[in-house]
Amino acid sequence: MHIEFLVEEPSAEAALLNIVPKILRQDVSFAIRPYQGKQDLLRKLLNRLQGYKAWLPKNWRIVVLIDADDESCRKLKAKLERIAHKVGLLTKSKMKGSSHFQVLNRLAIEEIEAWFFGDVDALHAAYPRISLELGKKAKYRNPDVIKGGTWEALERELKRAGYFSGGLSKISVAREISLYMEPERNRSRSFQVFRQGLLDLFC
């Protein structure tokens, strides 16, 4: 099996390059196609899926991962589903209880950085001055409902701990934290939905 991941930016690519092999079986290959932001991905998704539809091998799957940001998760997911259905590709939501789907649409709520807050051990391993108690703070207890933007919150905590006084690189931060992430222990529900969707490819 081969999986094509479509993601909205290079920082998501950097994270998935470390995370995905920890979830997939060793005999599964994958490639990650980053776009230049959420709107770029949404604008080009129809044409991209039409291209896949024309030649998609039977053992290939497509995973679309996008940040929910402050949009309605229900409406954004429905938009992704409509695009896939318009092309004639079967989605996981459409094929309930079956692994015979071609497209898996998944949201990071509200941003992929919430997944980093979901694994404080990984955060601490990458940046040891980040306290292991961070996840017990009320505002970080549920990574998917962090207020004011998860990227901004992550930047704030890293700078408070004495890192990146000159500014953060989203790509390098994503790469460093994801290197230590363990999928099974992540407290972000949107991450676990993503992980389970990948595992369902083999059911």
What is residue 66's predicted lDDT score, i.e. its pLDDT?
95
Q: What is the dihedral of CA 186, 190, 34, 40, to 10 degrees?
A: -150
What is residue 99's predicted lDDT score, i.e. its pLDDT?
61
Q: Could you tell me which CATH number the domain at 2-111+188-200 has?
A: 3.40.50
Give yes or no for a contact between 63 and 35, defined as CB atoms under 8 angstroms apart: no
What is residue 120's predicted lDDT score, i.e. its pLDDT?
97
What is residue 97's predicted lDDT score, i.e. its pLDDT?
60
In DSSP terms, which residues pair with 5 in a beta bridge? 32, 63
Q: What is the pTM of this model?
A: 0.93
What is residue 71's predicted lDDT score, i.e. its pLDDT?
84
In DSSP terms, which residues pair with 63 in a beta bridge? 5, 104
The CA distance from 68 to 110, in Å, is 5
What is residue 86's predicted lDDT score, i.e. its pLDDT?
95
Tens-binned pLDDT, residue by residue, of the chain (203 aa): 899 999 999 999 999 999 999 999 888 999 999 999 999 999 999 999 999 999 888 889 999 999 988 888 899 999 999 999 999 998 987 766 666 789 999 999 889 999 999 999 999 999 999 999 999 999 999 999 998 789 999 999 999 999 987 777 899 999 999 999 999 999 999 999 999 999 988 76
The CA distance from 122 to 179, in Å, is 8
The CA distance from 130 to 166, in Å, is 18
What is residue 59's predicted lDDT score, i.e. its pLDDT?
87
Q: How far apart are the first and last CA of the chain?
A: 13
Domain boundaries, the chain: 2-111+188-200, 113-184
Cα 165 to chain center, whole Å?
27
